[in-house]
Structure 1
Amino acid sequence: MRLYDLIQQNKKLKFVDPDSGKTANVAEFHESIAIDDFHGLSLIYSNNKIESIEVFLNFLHSQFTISLLSVQLNLQFKENLEEIYEPYYIYDPSRKEIDGYEMDSVSETIGLFRKKAKPVYTIHKDVKLLLSTSGTTGTPKFVKLSDENLVKNAMSIMEFMPIKNDDVVPLNVPIIFVYGLSIFTTNCIKGGTIICTDKDILQKAFWEDFKTYKFSTINGVPYVYEMLHRIGFFRKTYESLRYITQGGGGLSRALIDAIVEYSEKQEIPFYAQYGQTEAAGRMAYLHPDDLSEKAPCIGKPIKGGEFEIDKKTRELIYYGENVFGGYARELEDLKVYDRTNKLYTGDIARKDENGYYYIIGRMKRFMKLFGTRINLDEIELILKNNLGGETFICVGIEDKYLSIMHLDERFTDNDIKKVLRHKLNIHASAVKIRYIENVPLTPNGKINYREIKELAKLSEMKV
């Protein structure tokens, strides 16, 4: 069964725009947009608002392949993508005209751009969704996902996630990212109310909506929970909250302890998950009962999935029906869908005696310091665990020195260098430390290491 068909079966499902109060159900969205009947390509620049969701669901129902992108992409990036992929339809609420396209007024609030000339290219029948692994640069590289990939992953997630048909779920993680998309799909199939919002979890307006609509769950990446911890989230009670989810990386021990204490006291389970865009969402999860003893491990594979660890490289390999059909870098790549069930994750992992998996670091997140290979993710975690669970960001600068940035001005450089010297025997001369007020983030709330690295290089040039 197609993903759209599963969503349409949920008769209790409704969508709410918290700004206008507008409410709609699946039946009202069904075929509300006239879409030409052929297999072409549509680019949807989503802002997570209810209009974007209506457009997305209509194209999900159609024959069209969908590319989900951020409405905040630079105009030049957008034009570059459109030149490469020649989409027949474009939804972009930030533009009033696009060269070579005419505007169809779908409703008072939705305008859809349609190409004046019908394209002649061919798209493989299994390529249903294109997701970018980079939400900031507008790279033409996409992950090719099939309807089957999306359905298999959604069904596996619903095996362990305690979704109820009266849940009220905010889309605070954008659906253009696979974590946000998996929240959307699973709750559309099994949940009750979707709050279509462009507000992130660190905005005051989000919490005003939380109080108004009584959210059943919140979702976020590690940095989001680090910030929530700092502002006292885990010291408060939220009567409507039933469970919390996390994706996008590991948590520090101090943060885990705070979450465990909160979770046990409030009886609110916390689901730590592990996934990648290439797996259509989730590959593993840690059961809330195991959080205290096993975290920061990623737990065990989802139903229908398996792991193995390469004996030479220690790379984690995943097997499952949710594995993608290859990458697209140009229009020609949409002709092919390489069916496989094997994914090289790029993560280095270990497995304990009880079958739980731990991510040690990314294969690319290493540097050499005085000839010794060091794991940047491990250094971040050591600093967090030894300095109160605060946020630390580490990048290697051309194997010359280790750059560390942090958000707590109470720490002296010596505090940080002392931990590195005692725990990792890293000499102080190889470390450069900087306090910053704000962390550059990608649109899905993860730390933007590319921007951090440029910031470190600029800082070095000014010295």
Structure 2
Amino acid sequence: MVALPHLVPARGAVGFVASLRSRGDAPAVHTGSRTLTYAALADLVDDAAAALGTGRRLVLVAADNTLDALVTHLGALAAGHVPLLAPGDRPQHLDRLADTYDPDVVAGRGPQGWQVVQRREGSIHTLHPDLALLLPTSGSTGSPKVVRLTHDNLGSNAEAIAQALAIRPTDRAVTSLPLHYCYGLSVVHSHLATGAGIVLTDLSVVDPCFWQLVDGTAATTVAGVPHTFELLERSGFAQRRHPSLRAVTQAGGRMAAETVQRFARLGREQGWELFVMYGQTEATARMAVLPPDLVEHRPDSVGVPVPGGSFRIEPLGELHCGFGELVYSGPNVMLGYAEDAGDLRRGRDVLELHTGDLARFGPDGLVEIVGRRSRFAKVLGLRIDLEQVEQDLRDAGQPTHCVDLGDAVGVLAERSGAGAQVTDVLRRLHGIPASGVVVLDGQRAPRLANGKPDYPRMTDLLGDHREALPVSTELPGSDEEGQLGRVVALYRELLDAPQATEGTSFVDLGGDSLSYVEVSLRLERVLDALPTGWHLMAPRELVVAAPSAGRPSRRWLHRVETSVVLRAVAVLLILANHTHLSFVPGGAHTLLALAGFNLARFQLTGRSRAERAKGVVRSALRIWAPSAAWIGVVAVVAGTYDWRNVLLLNQVLGDWSRWSDHWHYWFIEAVVALLLGTAALMAVPAVDRWERRRPFAFPVALVGLGLLTRYAVVVPDAGPYRGANAYVLIWLFATGWAAARATTTAQRLLVSAIPVLTVPGFWPSMPMREVTIIVGLLVLIWVPTMVLPAFLGRAAAVVASASLFVYLTHFVVYPHLMHVSSVLAMAASLAVGVAYWRLWSRVESAASRVVIRLRRA
């Protein structure tokens, strides 16, 4: 044999690999047709090490459950190379790994059998001295992200598992799992570490030949993931006896408690023991074991940490359910992840492993896994534990897998005709209406090579299934179904939301005050009349709740929300004042209060804290973007404004000593600043929780704080232009917010008192402005809708939709026409503003489509 002292790295090979030869003639590997001793295995490993070349190299091993793959892997470890194990039956994944990491050597099965291809002399990689092995994460479906493991990780975990399972030299484990999967590989490592044997096979547990091999080689140990146990139950495993079988181990995912107990009882009857284990690739393999004597009594637990490891529970700020994230420490915790070849030179990034699993300690100190942090979905404002949904459906006799479709729970059901029962269970137990559930039944769940559910693939299948559902403006069936299709199609069109379904509301799709009016106007053409709070309803609920659903509109009168009318009137008052057609000031400040009103209605809904904050920021950006574009063009062409106006920072950096054209856009600056301030508040967990618990008291408290600046108690008086200052106007913005939250007569009376008591005196020289604001707010509080002639209602909706754009553009339009006619100046300002609104809507729509295409690419 070839001596390899020049190949051994400075830190030495993994202990159980280096000691193979010392075990002499003890049986090491059984293939069914031959048996190799440890000495014979050591010879093959030395030959494989020599074939991989000198120096320290990166070796991509396209693994299968064969002697060639095993020997190549062990040879790489013996020589100090770094093997990257990957599934040999997935060429696309192998190609991606090769492109990402550019291995020096590639080993795998080719047309002529097992091949070792050296792609270059030496190595182009700088490999960290501690780096011993690269493994794909157990949930990988093609991602090049891998786990970096050390020599100590492999050695310590093999010894810990051997100790936890009491593996003996006389044991023989059959390779019922892939070698490239961390659990399957740890079975091999832990048995080699104790001088036990390995039975190599790629047969499935449902194949009779598999069990003939088990019996023929006197195998003692079989390992499986939950899917393996499903296959065992279907294949008649309980009716057979295998005299040599001593231990069955389960890991790779949570198994139903009743299944655990059933197999524990079966093992007791047939003379073998069930070990329930828990692990992740990031911890080399396994982190915990539930001893067999506790399995029947504690089937919901994963037990205690393996020797050398420890657990702690880290509380979660977002979840108040008595659980926390399970965090593991031990010598088997990885160095960190790698996403490209450059990461292979890095040392330790991870000191302890945040597992991503929600867990708790039972009263007996055993660890109980209750779900995954990432296995939560937010549907129609409800936080849904998908693990629990799967369990509830299993309890109802429906084996399913659930995924998050963003706005719905996707359910893949094995049994045909399961849809009705699935939707009923989700409605009764989790409060999810049928509109929030997408069911694809009569189909087996796709699996990864390691037997785990392939949830990304399921998400794609269910997404394709949902897109294939007949949702269009001309749905067959009842009038209600046709209306439902038209509502969904309308959302997709006006909100640039291809993800819209019958379960996604206007607010869910990012709708805000800028799009609210046009959407409501178009919806009324479909539904004739809209129910109160329609923007929070899913289309399915909206169609049912619409007061005149199913009847064509033939009315001369049109019911319009007061907030829409006020927006239209306010911007018309601004135009009338500036064109000297009349003098009724106060329109802009009324719009500011309306901004607070709409913030509460559209952004501060039941969504998560992060979604709320992002939604408010998104609304601010939707105001800033068209404003910056218009102001920027005018600044370049006419020189009226400068960069401070484009960035909406004139209030911060401008000249407060005199009024000038630079102050034209004070209102837009104030609205954006107040929205961003709100987003910052909502990003604070404690503030977000307080607002949810006290939705009315919170804005009232903000009014109180705002009055401190309104009356110059905490900051100096802002001078003659204080009415244009954002921090001075907090109280007015918060009053609109409180108006949206007022639901009782007492609350409405309290909010009504705020403008009546606080607005007078703010503009002592303009009492008419104060009257306009007070009247506007009182109407907003007490009159939710108004009845107008249909043509007038639709005209108000158009003006309200374009109000921002009319305000933006009118400063450039009306001065050129004032000498001709105030009416003409006002009409032209309206026309240009509406035209800019239409143009910008098309720009937004086109940009949205580009973003969607880029994301899909």
- Structure 1 or 2: more helix by fraction: 2
Please give the alpha-carbon distance, in whole angstroms, between the structure 1 residues aligned to 2:458 and 2:156.
36
Q: Could you say which residue in structure 1 is the equivalent of 2:400?
A: 392
| 2:80 paired with 1:66 | no
Q: Could you say which residue in structure 2 is the equivalent of 1:27?
A: 39
- Is the Cα–Cα contact under 8 Å of residues 131 and 277 in structure 1 kept in the other structure? yes
- Is the Cα–Cα contact under 8 Å of residues 313 and 327 in structure 2 kept in the other structure? yes
| 2:163 paired with 1:185 | no
- Structure 1 or 2: more strand by fraction: 1
Report the secondary structure of 1:353's partner residue: coil
Q: Could you say which residue in structure 2 is the equivalent of 1:53?
A: 70
| 2:231 paired with 1:230 | no
Q: TM-score, normalised by structure 1?
A: 0.90
Please give the alpha-carbon distance, in whole angstroms, between the structure 1 residues aligned to 2:414 and 2:385.
21
Cα shift at 1:412: 4.0
For 1:413, which of 391, 412, 419 is the aligned residue?
Answer: 419
Please give the alpha-carbon distance, in whole angstroms, between the structure 1 residues aligned to 2:189 and 2:34.
21
The superposition leaves residues 59-118 of structure 1 with CA deviations (integer Å, 9 ceiling, x where unpaired) of: 11102111111111224x43342233232221011366xxxxxxxxxxxx6431112343
Cα separation, partners in 2 of 1:7 and 1:422, compared to 1, 3 Å: farther
The amino acid across from 1:53 in the alignment is L
Please give the alpha-carbon distance, in whole angstroms, between the structure 1 residues aligned to 2:126 and 2:47.
26
Please give the alpha-carbon distance, in whole angstroms, between the structure 1 residues aligned to 2:392 and 2:278.
20
Cα shift at 1:143: 0.6
| 2:340 paired with 1:324 | no
Cα shift at 1:234: 2.5
| 2:2 paired with 1:10 | no
Cα separation, partners in 2 of 1:308 and 1:116, compared to 1, 3 Å: closer
| 2:433 paired with 1:427 | yes
Q: Could you say which residue in structure 1 is the equivalent of 2:848?
A: none
The amino acid across from 1:48 in the alignment is N
Report matched runs for 1:97-176 at 5 Å: 110-133=114-137, 137-176=141-180
The amino acid across from 1:256 in the alignment is V
Bigger CA radius of gyration:
2
Please give the alpha-carbon distance, in whole angstroms, between the structure 1 residues aligned to 2:424 and 2:241.
37
- Is the Cα–Cα contact under 8 Å of residues 139 and 454 in structure 2 kept in the other structure? no
Cα shift at 1:167: 2.2
Which has the higher mean CA deviation after the structures are superposed, 315-324 or 202-211?
202-211
The superposition leaves residues 430-462 of structure 1 with CA deviations (integer Å, 9 ceiling, x where unpaired) of: 333332343210000001011111111121222
Q: Could you say which residue in structure 2 is the equivalent of 1:443?
A: 449
Cα separation, partners in 2 of 1:391 and 1:323, compared to 1, 3 Å: same
Q: Could you say which residue in structure 2 is the equivalent of 1:106?
A: none
Cα separation, partners in 2 of 1:69 and 1:373, compared to 1, 3 Å: same
The amino acid across from 1:52 in the alignment is A
Please give the alpha-carbon distance, in whole angstroms, between the structure 1 residues aligned to 2:273 and 2:456.
34
Q: TM-score, normalised by structure 2?
A: 0.50
- Is the Cα–Cα contact under 8 Å of residues 376 and 386 in structure 2 kept in the other structure? yes
- Is the Cα–Cα contact under 8 Å of residues 87 and 94 in structure 2 kept in the other structure? no
Please give the alpha-carbon distance, in whole angstroms, between the structure 2 residues aligned to 1:316 and 1:325.
19
Please give the alpha-carbon distance, in whole angstroms, between the structure 2 residues aligned to 1:253 and 1:426.
26
Cα shift at 1:172: 1.6
Q: Could you say which residue in structure 2 is the equivalent of 1:105?
A: none
- Is the Cα–Cα contact under 8 Å of residues 56 and 122 in structure 2 kept in the other structure? no
Q: Could you say which residue in structure 2 is the equivalent of 1:350?
A: 360
Cα shift at 1:134: 5.4
Question: Which structure 2 residue ranges, 5 or more long, are not aligned?
Answer: 1-13, 318-323, 470-857
Q: Could you say which residue in structure 2 is the equivalent of 1:99?
A: none
For 1:294, which of 288, 298, 315 is the aligned residue?
Answer: 298
Report the secondary structure of 1:32's partner residue: helix
The superposition leaves residues 181-214 of structure 1 with CA deviations (integer Å, 9 ceiling, x where unpaired) of: 1101011122533122222323343233234323
Which has the higher mean CA deviation after the structures are superposed, 244-253 or 184-193?
184-193
Cα separation, partners in 2 of 1:91 and 1:153, compared to 1, 3 Å: same
Please give the alpha-carbon distance, in whole angstroms, between the structure 2 residues aligned to 1:41 and 1:360.
39
- Is the Cα–Cα contact under 8 Å of residues 297 and 358 in structure 1 kept in the other structure? yes
Q: Could you say which residue in structure 1 is the equivalent of 2:380?
A: 370
Report the secondary structure of 1:289's partner residue: helix
Q: Could you say which residue in structure 1 is the equivalent of 2:289?
A: 285
The superposition leaves residues 226-259 of structure 1 with CA deviations (integer Å, 9 ceiling, x where unpaired) of: 2322333234322221110011111113312321
- Is the Cα–Cα contact under 8 Å of residues 177 and 223 in structure 2 kept in the other structure? yes
The superposition leaves residues 7-39 of structure 1 with CA deviations (integer Å, 9 ceiling, x where unpaired) of: 444331321223xx1332332232123243311
Which has the higher mean CA deviation after the structures are superposed, 260-269 or 281-290?
260-269
The superposition leaves residues 124-172 of structure 1 with CA deviations (integer Å, 9 ceiling, x where unpaired) of: 1100100011576443211110110111111111112132222232112
Which has the higher mean CA deviation after the structures are superposed, 236-245 or 226-235?
226-235
Cα separation, partners in 2 of 1:217 and 1:121, compared to 1, 3 Å: closer
Please give the alpha-carbon distance, in whole angstroms, between the structure 1 residues aligned to 2:280 and 2:258.
25
Q: Could you say which residue in structure 2 is the equivalent of 1:239?
A: 243
Which has the higher mean CA deviation after the structures are superposed, 317-326 or 330-339?
330-339
Please give the alpha-carbon distance, in whole angstroms, between the structure 2 residues aligned to 1:87 and 1:95.
21
Report the secondary structure of 2:315's partner residue: coil
Q: Could you say which residue in structure 1 is the equivalent of 2:200?
A: 196
Which has the higher mean CA deviation after the structures are superposed, 127-136 or 63-72?
127-136
- Is the Cα–Cα contact under 8 Å of residues 132 and 149 in structure 2 kept in the other structure? yes
| 2:103 paired with 1:87 | yes
The amino acid across from 2:401 in the alignment is I
Q: Could you say which residue in structure 1 is the equivalent of 2:743?
A: none
The amino acid across from 2:329 in the alignment is Y
- Is the Cα–Cα contact under 8 Å of residues 384 and 430 in structure 2 kept in the other structure? no
Q: Which has the higher contact order (CA 8 A, sep 6+)?
A: 1
The amino acid across from 1:38 in the alignment is G
Cα separation, partners in 2 of 1:237 and 1:391, compared to 1, 3 Å: farther
Cα shift at 1:225: 0.8
Which has the higher mean CA deviation after the structures are superposed, 189-198 or 122-131?
189-198
Q: Could you say which residue in structure 2 is the equivalent of 1:104?
A: none
For 2:463, which of 454, 457, 460 is the aligned residue?
Answer: 457
- Is the Cα–Cα contact under 8 Å of residues 214 and 240 in structure 1 kept in the other structure? yes
Please give the alpha-carbon distance, in whole angstroms, between the structure 2 residues aligned to 1:211 and 1:88.
41
Please give the alpha-carbon distance, in whole angstroms, between the structure 2 residues aligned to 1:197 and 1:367.
39
Please give the alpha-carbon distance, in whole angstroms, between the structure 1 residues aligned to 2:360 and 2:309.
17
Please give the alpha-carbon distance, in whole angstroms, between the structure 1 residues aligned to 2:219 and 2:258.
26
The superposition leaves residues 360-416 of structure 1 with CA deviations (integer Å, 9 ceiling, x where unpaired) of: 2111111112201011111112222342xx6321112122x222222244x743333
Aligned length: 444
Please give the alpha-carbon distance, in whole angstroms, between the structure 2 residues aligned to 1:326 and 1:253.
33
Please give the alpha-carbon distance, in whole angstroms, between the structure 2 residues aligned to 1:444 and 1:196.
16
The amino acid across from 1:114 in the alignment is Q
Once superposed, what is the RMSD of the aligned Cα atoms?
A: 2.2
- Is the Cα–Cα contact under 8 Å of residues 172 and 218 in structure 2 kept in the other structure? yes
Report the secondary structure of 2:388's partner residue: helix
